[in-house]
Amino acid sequence: MISIAQLSSEPWGALNGGDPVRLFTLRNAHGMKVAISDLGATLVSWHAPDRAGRLGDILLGHDTPAEYAAATTYMGGLIGRWANRIADARFTLDGIEYTLDCNEGANLLHGGSVGFHRAMWEVSEDNGSLLMRLESPEGDAGFPGNVTTQVRYTLDDDGTLTIAYEAVTDAATPLNLTSHPYFNLTGRSGADIRGHVLSIDADQFFEVDAAMIPCKLADVAGNAFDFRHSAPIGARLDWPHAQLVQAGGFDHCYVLRDTADGASGAGDVREVACLYDPGSGRELTVSTDQRGLQFYSGNWLKGDAGRGGLAYQAHAGLCLEAGGFPNEVNMPGRQDVIVRAGEMYRQVTAYKVDVRHGI
C-alpha cells in the first residue's frame, strides 16, 4: 500500500497589496518534498534525490510571491480557465459570440492576464492531500458561467505527485485546465535541459502558424518531433525544421496515442511521456487521462528572475502540460471541451520522479 505524505504550512511573504501568502509542503517517507503556494495553486519547488541520494530542486521558480504575481512565465501555476491559446480571443457557443481577454497579441493565452495562476486559492487538508478551491465568476476573462474549481495535490511514497482537477459551472463554458511546472532534472542552478532525454507516446502533433495557433496536424515520423523512442532534446533542437524556427524551439501540442477520437478527459490515466537526465539519474514519467500534451522547451526564457537571484535563460527548463488542444474551442468537435450546467469537468495528471542507477 502506498502511504500518503505529511503536510505542513508556513507564511511565505505577501503580495504588493499586502495580502498574505502561504506555502504548503508535502513530504513523503523518503525525504522528497513538494512545496505549493495558495497564490495560483503554484508548484513552487520539488526536492527529489539523485542516484547518490542527494536532494535537488527539479523545478524552476521565483523567490517571492510578488515575483510570481508579476512574472509572465507561468512558472508552476495552475492554468485556467483555458490552458494555452484561443485564436483571436473569441469563440461562439450556442449562437453567442464571446470576446475574451487579449493578453498575447490578438490571442488569449493561459486564461488571460489575470488567470487562475494569479488568484488566491482557498486551502484545506484531506487525509494528507492538499485541496485548493477557487470561485471564478461569470465574465472572468470574458468566459460565461460561474465556475467552481477544486484541485487535489497528493504525494505518494513512490514519488508520484498526482494532480486531480474537478470543476462545475452554472452555464455552458469551455474549460481546459493544466499545471505549468518547468522541470530541470539536473537539480542544479544554471544548468539547461539540452542533455535531457525525452519520449512522448504520440504519432502526430499540431503545427502552428506565426501566432502559435494550431494550423494542421502533422506526423512525427522522420523529423525532429519524433519522440516515440527516447531522444536527446538538445540534438533535436538543433535539427533544421521550419516549425522549430517558427516557435524558437518546441512549443507544440502532441496528440497522444489512442485518444484522437475520444473526449478530453474521458480516457484512463496512462503513461504518456518520460524524461530522463543521465547526469543525475532522475527520471520523470507523466501519466494523464487527457488527449493532448504540450511540450515547451523554455524557448522564451530571456533572463527571467529565478530562484536565488539567478536569471533563467532559454532552455533552462521544460514543460509537459497535459490537457485539451490549443484553440480546441474553435475546432470541429469542440463539444469535448464544453462543460454544461450540471456536468463535472474532471482531469487527472500524475508526475512521478524516480532514479535510474545505471547510465
Write down the H helix ranges in 156-227.
none
- Whether 165 has a binding-site annotation, put simply, is no
Q: Is residue 180 annotated as part of the catalytic site, yes or no? A: yes
Query: What are the distances in angstroms from CA 107 to CA 34, 91, 157, 286, 323?
Result: 33, 11, 41, 28, 18
Burial of 107 (0-12, 13-18, 19+ CB in 10 A): buried
- Whether 85 has a binding-site annotation, put simply, is yes
170 sits in the region (left: phi over 0; alpha: psi -120 to 50; else beta) called: alpha
- Whether 62 has a binding-site annotation, put simply, is no
- Whether 110 has a binding-site annotation, put simply, is no
- Among the listed residues 47, 110, 117, 180, the single catalytic one is 180
Q: Is residue 62 annotated as part of the catalytic site, yes or no? A: no
- Among the listed residues 117, 283, 315, 321, the single catalytic one is 321
- Whether 251 has a binding-site annotation, put simply, is yes
- Whether 180 has a binding-site annotation, put simply, is yes
Query: What are the distances in angstroms from CA 183 to CA 136, 254, 279, 325?
Result: 28, 18, 15, 21
Only one residue has cell 481546459, namely 176
Q: In sequence order, what are the beta bridge partners of 151?
A: 132, 165
Q: Which amino acids are annotated as binding site, given as ranges? A: 84-85, 180-182, 251
Catalytic residues, which ones?
180, 321
Q: Which amino acids are annotated as binding site for beta-D-galactose, given as ranges? A: 84-85, 180-182, 251
